Amino acid sequence: MTETVVTDTVTIFDTTLRDGEQSPGCSMTMPEKLKIAEALVELGVDVIEAGFPIASPGDFEAVRAVAQQFGDRATICGLARCRREDIERAAEALKGIAKPRIHVFLATSPIHRQFKLKMAEQEIVRAAVEHVELARSFCDNIEFSPEDAARTELPFLCEVVEKAIAAGATTVNIPDTVGYATPTHYFKVISYLKQHVSNIGQAVISTHCHNDLGLAVANSLAAVEAGARQVECTINGLGERAGNAALEEIVMAIKTRGDYYNVQTRINTPKLCGISRLVSSTTGMLVQRNKAIVGQNAFAHEAGIHQHGMLQNRSTYEIMRAEDVGFIGENMVLGKHSGRHAFRARVAELGYTLDDASLQKVFDEFIALADKKKNVYDADIIALIDKQSNVTADRWQLIQFQVGAGTGTIPTASIVLRDTSKSDESNLFREAVIGDGPIDAVFKAMERIIGVTAELKDYQVRAVSGGEDAQGDASVEIEYLGRRYHGKDVSTDIIEASARAYLKALNRALSENAAKPAT
């Protein structure tokens, strides 16, 4: 092993709650954002971009709530266009906290200048300077992003960056907004800025790479090699289109190849798999099995030759230890005779802290599951904990369902839902319908009761663990009034899991639309 000489620390700027949330179907409620923000703080990220305060009252409140709760443990950042009202709104959301940052952006590439902004080069420079100065009048920590920097002419990029720093920007972020860069190209862009921007030493250079060509992580690491000292990224690479650079991959590349990069991060890496699961279950965006670092197969060695090598010495085929990223395999754990103490101890070993009431609820579900299922795995326990922590006060609840299906029969479903907004006896509603299959019939019956029609955009069921009696994890995405909403649930009965997942998505769509001010 080469000895690592660490010279520098890279700031990890997480934008799961802002750029990640912009991903269709990934919108999060305020309690969900707060839970993710707490997990990000425990993970040790330096900066949390909590949202875009001007975008909506909900975004503003979310940034404010994250700032109030965590603004002394991490830098909390709010995004703003080069507009006075955006910057004032961001400043308002961050007011009074110990570590605020305002992130101001303006596109600089010829294509954005001509078609989006219809602004000449010098107008862009003036707007950038004016708004960085304005932001600086509210707080000392200002980030400036020339949007679509990777497609901006280098001399003009240097001019904008130099003037933004002179106006008070303390971090200059160089976004590859459309995922167009390649590693060598991006390395050259950062190197060029270092050579040609006279005051570059007064600001931290940051990267923000999108993954349209699958190069976001490689480009971010190339930027670090060229001297960038902040990386913007998201958990599981969540984000618009193909997403952003994945935080877990950046962090583990820097840790595993510290001998090469000579830098470090402050990330508490054993928390990586836990936060990956949290973000996946909150957004409904599943993590592919072979995803680097946090995928279910990331530490599985199937080939005999690999297993033989691993038995001799793990380092033959393993460059990272599963425990260093908090990876949990498919260990068979407890049976139905395991007591509450053993269960509590296992939950703690898996990295979860539950209060007594939540622990009791998950334990009750565990006992019910152990009655139905021969083997209960760690993954089952995690699914039960996730399910418990995602319980929301939904208006519509599933009380009962029955389906009929088979060859030569017409698929039918009968459903009973409770409308919790009504307190009397008349809050139970029944419907029976036929469908193209039992799942379709269940979904239609629920829509008929609620009186809405949504379009199913995505539907997946997968086993939580191995074995024929595995729990099914159902994930749905629907479109309602032009927006996407997700829902997720687990059960040993996949029709029940699907029904509950669909109902969650409907509840989410209804509550978001009910919360909107009338226009």
Binding site for ligand KIV (CB under 6 A): 19, 105, 145, 147, 173, 175, 177, 208, 210
Closer by beta carbon to ligand KIV, 105 or else 187 = 105
In angstroms, what is the minimal distance from the CB of 395 to Zn ion?
Answer: 34
Residue placing its CB nearer to Zn ion in the complex, 169 or 501: 169
Amino acid at 495: I
Rule CB under 5 A: say whether 148 interacts with Zn ion. no
Q: Which residues of 466-496 are buried (b: 16+ CB within 10 A; e: fewer)?
A: eeeebbbbbbbbbbbeeebbbbbbbbbebbb
DSSP string, 276-345: HHHHHHHH--PPPTT-TTTSTTTT---SHHHHHHHHH-GGGT-SS-GGGGT-----B---TT--HHHHHH
Give the binding range for Zn ion (CB under 5 A) out of 14-22, 183-191, 297-305, 386-394.
14-22
Binding partner selected for residue 500 from ligand KIV, Zn ion, none, CB under the kind-specific 5 to 8 Å limit: none
CA–CA gap between residue 270 and residue 42 (Å, rounded): 11
Stretch that binds Zn ion, among 19-27, 199-207, 322-330, 473-481 (CB under 5 A): 19-27
Q: How far is the CB of 81 from ligand KIV (least distance, A)?
A: 9
Q: What's the closest the beta carbon of residue 165 comes to ligand KIV, in angstroms?
A: 17
Minimum CB–partner distance for residue 350 and ligand KIV (Å): 34
14 scored as a contact of Zn ion (CB under 5 A): no
Question: Whole-number minimum distance, CB 104 to ligand KIV, in Å?
Answer: 9
Looking at the Cβ atoms of 210 and 387, the one nearer to ligand KIV is 210
| Closest separation in Å from C-beta 239 to Zn ion | 6
Closer residue to ligand KIV, CB minimum distance, 19 or 46: 19
Give the Cα-Cα-Cα angle 457, 458, 463 (nearest 5 degrees).
165
Residues 6+ apart with CB under 8 A from 414: 401, 402, 430, 431, 432, 445
Closest approach of ligand KIV to the CB of residue 11, in Å: 15
Least distance to Zn ion, CB of residue 19, Å: 4
For the bound state, the minimum distance from the C-beta of residue 105 to ligand KIV, rounded and expressed in Å, comes to 4
Q: Does 394 bind Zn ion (CB under 5 A)?
A: no
Q: Report the alpha-carbon distance of residue 174 to residue 161 in Å, rounded.
A: 9
Q: Decide which of Zn ion, ligand KIV, none touches 21; Cβ closer than 5 to 8 Å per partner kind.
A: none
Spatial distance between the Cα atoms of 26 and 30, rounded to a whole number of angstroms: 13
Q: Which does 13 bind (CB under 5 to 8 A by kind): ligand KIV, Zn ion, none?
A: none
250 vs 403, which CB is nearer to ligand KIV?
250
CA pair distance 221, 23, nearest whole angstrom: 23
Cβ-based neighbours of 360, under 8 Å, separated by 6 or more:
none
* Residue 75 touches which of ligand KIV, Zn ion, none (Cβ within 5-8 Å per kind): none
Q: Return the number of the residue (11 or 173) whose C-beta is nearest ligand KIV.
A: 173
DSSP 188: H
Q: Report the Cα 463 to chain-centroid distance in Å.
A: 22
346 binds, among ligand KIV, Zn ion, none (CB under 5 to 8 A by kind): none
Q: Minimum CB separation from ligand KIV for residue 241, in Å?
A: 10
CA distance 70 to 86: 22
The option from Zn ion, ligand KIV, none interacting with 49 (CB < 5 to 8 A, set by class) reads: none
Name the residue nearer to ligand KIV (CB basis): 104 or 325: 104
Closer by beta carbon to Zn ion, 214 or else 339: 214
CA-CA-CA-CA torsion sign (220, 225, 231, 234): positive
When computed from its CA atoms, the radius of gyration of the chain, rounded to whole angstroms, is: 25
Residue 147's binding partner out of Zn ion, ligand KIV, none, with CB under 5 to 8 Å set by partner kind = ligand KIV
Q: 165 to each of 130, 142, 146, 226, 319, how far by Cα in Å?
A: 12, 9, 12, 19, 40
User: How far apart are CB 147 and ligand KIV at their closest, in Å?
Assistant: 4
Cα 511 to Cα 58, 231, 480, 482: the distances in Å are 12, 35, 12, 15
Among ligand KIV, Zn ion, none, the one that 145 touches (CB under a kind-dependent 5 to 8 A) is ligand KIV
Judged by CB under 5 A, the stretch of 12-20, 398-406, 447-455, 465-473 that binds Zn ion is: 12-20
Query: Nearer Cβ to Zn ion, position 19 or 249?
Result: 19
Is the distance from CB of 180 to CB of 213 less than 8 angstroms?
Answer: yes
If one asks whether residue 19 binds Zn ion (CB under 5 A), the answer comes out as yes
> Distances from the Cα of 133 to the Cαs of 84, 127, 137, 139, 396, in angstroms?
11, 10, 6, 10, 49
Identity of the residue, 147 or 489, whose beta carbon is nearer to ligand KIV in the bound complex: 147
Nearer of residues 107 and 449 to ligand KIV, judged by Cβ:
107
Is residue 147 a contact point for Zn ion (CB under 5 A)? no
Give the residue among 167, 153, 196 at the shortest CA–CA distance from 104. 167
Query: Residues 335, 370: contact at Cβ < 8 Å?
Result: yes
Which residues make up the interface to Zn ion (CB under 5 A)? 19
